[in-house]
Amino acid sequence: MDFSDPHFERPLLLLAAVAAAGLALGGLRWADARRRSGLAGFAAERLLGHLLAGHSAARRVIKDLMVATAVLLLGVAAAGPRWGYVTTAARASSEDVIFVLDVSKSMMASDARPSRLARAKASVSAFVKTKGTGSVGLVAFAGQAFLQCPLTRDYDAFSRALEETDTSVIQVTGTDIGRALEEAEAAFAPNRSRKLVILLTDGEDLESGGVDAAKRLARNGLVVHAVGVGTAAGGTISVVGPLGTLETLKDAEGAAVISRLDEATLSKVAEVAGGRFVLLGTAGEGMEALRLAVEAGTDSAHAGRQGVPREHWFVTLALALLVVETLLSTRRRPAAEAS
């Protein structure tokens, strides 16, 4: 059996399952205490021991634990346990694509001309102009993420939104890839089109949530492609100074800040989400190669990858416990009489 990628579809229900099991056990123990108290109320103390002589308190506890465990197992089943995965090779008639564009200050680095951001925007524009089918949308992100353009087939409207996107649209500094991917997932419509996310960034994931978010998207059938913008050697970052002129960003010690492409992070994001990692290149050739792969349907490693439902294991075990509980008596076996 394949035990890869264990997870729950509805993990919050696990807390409810634990609470329900605790309440069930507490209720059963309270009911047992009430029975004993009621019996003591009408039976003389000297008769109470005789009446309870054949009753096993230990077996009653075991039965109660069985019921509580069965409730817990049913709750775990409701949480949607998954491990292993299956893939489907069927292609959708079209693709809905959300472009996730990094607009943090590092995207103004000089290792791509005229800047990383300008080069990334030009490659997105070229991709959309030659795509031809499906809807496109745009998410801009830095320390936060914002849906700049909802999914649309109006490519002119998308182009206007893309043109207006720059480093000023997100005021929170930083680079949160995880938040950006979550925003992209929320932007998809519930249709049968193949859902693709194309992430364009230098990979400096300051919040370190990108890989985990990509895993969650993959579990929901989304494919994430990562496009690395910049170079491993890096470059200085140009920012607008107090006088309105471009200045080189410097650290607290006065040294120029060098921003470098993080290929390892982007490669991992694409890997866990079944997509490809490509370098944008000086002329956007990486983005063009990705577009051709999308058109040919060869872009993703497991476009239809889904976790295998495992609820039946927990339901079966819960039912088995309930059956054994009903068969287990709380009466002691009579002791063999001495001959």
Partners of 258 in the β-ladder: 236
Residue 250 dihedral angles phi and psi, to the nearest 5°: -125, 155
pLDDT tens-digit series, residues 108-144: 988 888 899 999 999 999 999 887 678 999 999 999 9
Partners of 102 in the β-ladder: 141
Give the confidence band of 163 by pLDDT, cuts at 50, 70, 90.
Answer: very high
The pLDDT of residue 38: 64
Give the integer Cα–Cα distance in Å for 274 and 267. 11
The pLDDT of residue 338: 40
Whether this prediction's pTM lies above 0.75 is answered by: no
The architecture (CATH level 2) of 95-296 comes to 3-Layer(aba) Sandwich (3.40)
pLDDT tens-digit series, residues 58-105: 888 899 999 999 999 999 999 888 877 665 544 544 689 999 999 998
Question: What residues does CATH 3.40.50.410 cover in the chain?
Answer: 95-296
The pLDDT of residue 306: 64
Cα end-to-end distance, the chain, whole Å: 56
Instruction: Residue 158: name the closest of 133, 195, 128 by CA.
Output: 128
pLDDT higher at 298 or 334:
298
Q: Which residues contact 297 (CB under 8 A, 6 or more apart)?
A: 91
